[in-house]
Structure 1
Amino acid sequence: MRTNVYVMYGGQSPEHDVSLKTALAVMNRLDRDRYRVYPIYVEPDGAWRGGNELAECLDDVESLRLSSGERSSMGGILKQWYQEDRSNHVVFPVLHGPNGEDGTLQGMLEMLNIPYVGNGVLASAAGMDKIMTKRIMEQAGIPQTPYTAFTLYEWNKEADRLIHTIGSSIGYPCYVKPANMGSSVGISRCGDREELEASIREAFRYDRKIAVEKEIPGREVQVAILGNDEPVCSVAGEFERERHFFSYERKYSSGVLTKRIPARLDDEVYGRLRTMALQAFRALDGAGLMRVDFFVTDSNEIILNEVNTLPGFTENSMFPALLTYGGRRTFAQLLDELIGLALERYREKRVWRDGRAGA
């Protein structure tokens, strides 16, 4: 019997269009001999649309903007899960950004007792919030770039003091980042006070909390983690680039990104990086998948940049490229593993909920 896979995508975040690109790649590579694939589209205004089974591959992302059928609430879409054996359903969420990868959707699916791909409520919420991630990694002893963080309330109350603190303790150049946003949305590199003030105002368009980080000269190197209780780490990869950081347009629109896999690291440096990545995954109580990004300096110092608990699966995305490198697995097999990990974690939770742990 084929498993019903409900791919949730779109959403109300600024990463709506990135989500569609990920959804297209996932849906087109799910094995139709093993799965019945159903789209669930969350429109930019929050309305939900459920589509019919997708028996064939889709041509482009525009076909994912479901327009036929009645707009519904999420309750109306999810009602069908209570009409069948829910053990034969799994949700594959690819809603990037707030209300998708920040634990809110995961909490809803937990309450509905439905298996889903990827990280749980805690890992999703803490991993999405860059400031909370930093605090957890500090406790885990993982090196990070110097930073400061503050809220919109604090900024409105004492902007001059904060600007002075950033200049004296962080310095220039620095990066301003909304706490809860991905795909480089709202992120700016600042070379002086004027740019810093403008960047802070821009970042507060996306979140009430922001982080300001010291720039670390070096390469950004990424690894992919796959697994639950026994996670494995991929080879390392990096993007060859000329600019200081990847803007949203650079990542998803320019079409000129070049991946280097494996990254230019010797075995000793990769070994340390791999250990840190697995340590970060476990510190967040990760499940299923995670991408962990590091800076590697010219002196081979390794510094954690950030984690991504729901990395993209687009044509430019590093996560699937790392895990399919060298023919270890195909893209379709990677999706099989992720669904298998989701069902494994779901069965484990059911044992605990039924009070039979250790039996």
Structure 2
Amino acid sequence: MNKRAVAVLFGGNSSEHEISRLSAASVLSHIPRDRYEVVMVGITKDGRWFYYPGPVDAIENGDWEKNPGNRPAYLSPDMAAGGLVIREETGECILPIDVVFPVLHGKNGEDGTIQGLLSLAGIPFVGCSCAAAALTMDKIYTNMALESAGIPQAKWTWCRTFDYKKDPEAVFEKVEKALGYPVFVKPANAGSSVGVGKAVDRAALARCIEAAAACDERILFEEAIVGKEVECAVLGNEEPVAATVGEIVPCNEFYDYEAKYQSESELHIPARLAKETIEEIRRLAVEAFLALGCEGMARVDFFVREADGAILLNEPNTIPGFTSISMYPKLFEAAGLPYPELLSRLIELGLERACR
């Protein structure tokens, strides 16, 4: 049986570069090598691409960049190329690629940019289309789409960074009138809670806006929900399925970047919820997945409000973490789909979509 050539992209010019390395090392350690020929492509923080022939265990700490076998490489938008262009001392050669698995978090990875390049190149890839990736990466547009689809979520509003700099008082008043305190402040386009803050008064709101404004030109404000934070993993193309629901008990005040990746938050699989609530979350996760045009995979995050048990969608993540502590693979493993089989299914879904 001929093995499919799978290019795994990792690193990237993003604030989540380090997390991408951790996720990619985990993916590369579990991908079924009897079925797939794996090609590793590392992208440095300053955006340089390299074909990497070294050991997987050098990826997590960044030592892969020192490998003497690294060769500059790139994906050509020319469909005739059909693979990874590698620069050797004697010239360029093309390594054919059947499918790409972009294990890239945050900007330039899950925002539609790499998906657009792969679409131009005519190379199948794992995960959402360019349009769905761009939509789900932008929290403001995501909220608009979910609101249009009638999917319940927290109350929210937004502003441009330009608006805040021009008239801070007007933004303060807008947020206070619409949401009150406490309120969450988020950059529209940043993943893994980068730049996210919780404001309990106007002084804190100003600090949170400044932090969010450093990450993006548009800022989202959401009411603070008191309740459980839960996540649901979705897999598929036209007929997606949801795994069980997992619950997070953050080690910090809320599930910020540190709580996700640098500390030990408490996880419960399945979530400590009534069976009926879990089934409704699974249903809403699939509904949101389809409403946003997702394909392949997504982790859909929810709140279950303490006061009345209301289920409110928080946000989707179309390239969820694949580290050793990440919820997405853990949820499907709990549902009876082992990590290697999950990866194989994702790869086949990418190839299946390209054949449509």
TM-score by length of 2: 0.91
Residues in 1 aligned to 2:181 and 2:124: alpha-carbon distance in whole angstroms: 46
What SS does the aligned partner of 2:167 have? helix
Give the 3 Å change call, closer, same or farther, for CA 84–20 of structure 1 in structure 2. closer
What displacement does 1:257 show? 2.1
Select 1:134's aligned residue among 130, 143, 147. Answer: 143
Q: Which residue of 1 aligns with 2:231?
A: 222
Residues in 2 aligned to 1:213 and 1:79: alpha-carbon distance in whole angstroms: 44
Select 2:276's aligned residue among 264, 268, 272. Answer: 268
Give the 3 Å change call, closer, same or farther, for CA 318–193 of structure 1 in structure 2. same
Q: Which residue of 2 aligns with 1:288?
A: 296
Query: Per residue, is there more strand in 1 or in 2?
Result: 2
Select 2:127's aligned residue among 111, 118, 123. Answer: 118
What displacement does 1:79 show? 2.4
Q: Which residue of 2 aligns with 1:353?
A: none
Give the 3 Å change call, closer, same or farther, for CA 222–240 of structure 1 in structure 2. same
Identity of aligned residues (%): 40
Q: Which residue of 1 aligns with 2:326?
A: 317
Alignment of 1:9-28 (within 5 A): 9-28=10-29
Q: Which residue of 2 aligns with 1:105?
A: 114
- The alignment status of 1:62 with 2:61, answered yes or no, reads yes
What stretches of structure 1 of length at least 5 have no aligned partner?
349-359
Residues in 1 aligned to 2:252 and 2:327: alpha-carbon distance in whole angstroms: 18
What displacement does 1:18 show? 0.6
Q: Which residue of 2 aligns with 1:347?
A: 355
Q: Which residue of 2 aligns with 1:147?
A: 156
Query: Per residue, is there more helix in 1 or in 2?
Result: 1
Residues in 2 aligned to 1:22 and 1:99: alpha-carbon distance in whole angstroms: 16
What SS does the aligned partner of 2:8 have? strand
Conservation of the 8 A alpha-carbon contact between 1:101 and 1:128: yes
What SS does the aligned partner of 2:27 have? helix
1:288 partner letter: G
1:139 partner letter: S
- The alignment status of 1:195 with 2:204, answered yes or no, reads yes
What displacement does 1:200 show? 0.4
1:106 partner letter: Q
Select 1:207's aligned residue among 216, 240, 245. Answer: 216
Alignment of 1:52-91 (within 5 A): 52=53, 57-58=56-57, 61-62=60-61, 65-67=64-66, 68=68, 69-75=70-76, 78-79=84-85, 83=94, 89-91=98-100
Q: Which moved more, 1:238-247 or 1:212-221?
A: 238-247
What SS does the aligned partner of 1:235 have? strand
1:11 partner letter: G
Give the 3 Å change call, closer, same or farther, for CA 85–39 of structure 1 in structure 2. closer
What displacement does 1:342 show? 0.5
Conservation of the 8 A alpha-carbon contact between 1:20 and 1:64: no
What SS does the aligned partner of 1:78 have? strand
Select 1:246's aligned residue among 248, 252, 255. Answer: 255
Q: Which residue of 1 aligns with 2:89?
A: none
Q: Which residue of 2 aligns with 1:334?
A: 342
2:34 partner letter: D
Aligned-residue Cα RMSD (Å) equals 1.9
Conservation of the 8 A alpha-carbon contact between 2:21 and 2:59: no
Select 1:181's aligned residue among 160, 185, 190. Answer: 190
Conservation of the 8 A alpha-carbon contact between 1:223 and 1:291: yes
What displacement does 1:240 show? 2.3
Give the 3 Å change call, closer, same or farther, for CA 242–252 of structure 1 in structure 2. closer
Q: Which residue of 2 aligns with 1:357?
A: none
Give the 3 Å change call, closer, same or farther, for CA 168–63 of structure 1 in structure 2. closer
Conservation of the 8 A alpha-carbon contact between 2:186 and 2:212: yes
Residues in 2 aligned to 1:59 and 1:126: alpha-carbon distance in whole angstroms: 34
TM-score by length of 1: 0.91
What stretches of structure 2 of length at least 5 have no aligned partner?
87-91
Conservation of the 8 A alpha-carbon contact between 1:24 and 1:64: no
What SS does the aligned partner of 2:312 have? strand
Conservation of the 8 A alpha-carbon contact between 1:227 and 1:289: yes
Conservation of the 8 A alpha-carbon contact between 2:127 and 2:319: yes
1:269 partner letter: T
1:58 partner letter: D
1:62 partner letter: N
